[in-house]
Structure 1
């Protein structure tokens, strides 16, 4: 379930989209904080947070006494708690003005051995599986496999999200969707949603083309 995004995330998303589509090329200067604040009806504090988010994504750089300029790097920033609850339509829609399409397949399957172990189930136990495929302008940009015990829906009971990033050889299904050659690496994100008792209520593996993002940036709110 998606949650409403804070104003600074919306503003950052709009500028990120304009930068990635080339509307704002490398070296272009962004409007001043005051101008952005007036255009969006927000305070300077909100604008500063939006610019900070763009900096963390590697999309802009701040030059003392001159302003904020478009950089050339492209990172994927994952924000807690705003982004980890975001659906793919919102995530990719904030990155591009191209047509973003997301398709999902739902089924109940026998749990693979590794998945059953992570979820604390007996191998072969039936689990719910969702395969989510995303494309941008007809180009595949993401695919994920998500598993949950039958009868468990969503992540309302989860207290911790654990994510592991790696360059990996994808599964056959992921390789086929992303159109990568045999033995070619993809950027992989392995997610575990963990409840208060330490049990895993959802496990997900997400694959992206390696050339889509230069780096992954994580921002978490610490209690």
Structure 2
């Protein structure tokens, strides 16, 4: 999937900050200068800056501009990244994009009782299972198990539901993350749904507990007038 221009630009600036190419407390170019550099509108740059602000990578000073934060954090932001390919997500987060490795395993499995109930199918029906393992500079960054009906276009999802918890990982996740039995990790269960409640994809993602300083969620509300 292609990423929005503002996410791509924010990712480029984030890598420059984390690599030290943009030193702490150094000033970023103005919105108009960045817009010219990236051949986009000021609105796109404004959205990129908002994303960097929420990630704690920059701060603003009224009438002076935008500056690199003194202690850059690593924040997982939703929904900007929920439809991204892992290569985009982790490259944007890493100080060295060449050190990001993504491995995938895809297979067709038979639905168990839980999956059959979630997707409204029969036990034993075919379902697509994908395991994605990400590492950053040689360290495990995440592992996920995703399930969807064969041929599903997840990009048509209208609702993303995420449940975050600290819990012991399943054995395969514990092995990849290299955590001892019983140790807690950060887990996120994602359900991509249509407006009528049908589930298009279910993902269980595990991260090292110290991978992110915080998680940010945002949704569009339909105000009741």
Matched ranges for 1:49-198 at <5 A: 49-71=47-69, 72=71, 73-79=73-79, 83-96=81-94, 97-98=96-97, 99-123=99-123, 125-149=125-149, 151-198=150-197
Deviation at 1:159, TM superposition (A): 2.6
Deviation at 1:66, TM superposition (A): 2.6
Alignment coverage as a number of residue pairs: 218
More off after superposition, 103-112 vs 204-213: 103-112
SS in 2 for 1:180: coil
Deviation at 1:112, TM superposition (A): 4.2
Q: 2:74, 2:93 within 8 Å by CA — same for their partners in 1? A: no
Query: In structure 2, what is the Cα distance between the partners aligned to 1:40 and 1:197?
Result: 39
Q: Any unmatched runs of 5+ in structure 1?
A: none
Q: CA RMSD in A?
A: 2.2
Q: 1:59, 1:75 within 8 Å by CA — same for their partners in 2? A: no
SS in 2 for 1:167: strand
Query: In structure 1, what is the Cα distance between the partners aligned to 2:142 and 2:148?
Result: 20
Q: Using structure 1 for the length normalisation, give the TM-score.
A: 0.86
What residue in structure 2 maps to residue 46 of structure 1?
Answer: 44
What residue in structure 1 maps to residue 21 of structure 2?
Answer: 23
Q: 1:19, 1:70 within 8 Å by CA — same for their partners in 2? A: yes
Query: In structure 2, what is the Cα distance between the partners aligned to 1:77 and 1:157?
Result: 20
Deviations 1:13-48 (CA, angstroms, capped at 9, x unpaired) = 111111223333432322222322232223333222
Query: In structure 2, what is the Cα distance between the partners aligned to 1:181 and 1:70?
Result: 36
User: CA 1:121–1:42 in structure 2 vs 1: closer, same or farther (change >3 Å)?
Assistant: closer
Deviation at 1:166, TM superposition (A): 1.6
Q: 1:7, 1:46 within 8 Å by CA — same for their partners in 2? A: yes
Query: In structure 1, what is the Cα distance between the partners aligned to 2:138 and 2:129?
Result: 25
SS in 2 for 1:105: strand
Q: Using structure 2 for the length normalisation, give the TM-score.
A: 0.85
Q: Any unmatched runs of 5+ in structure 2?
A: none
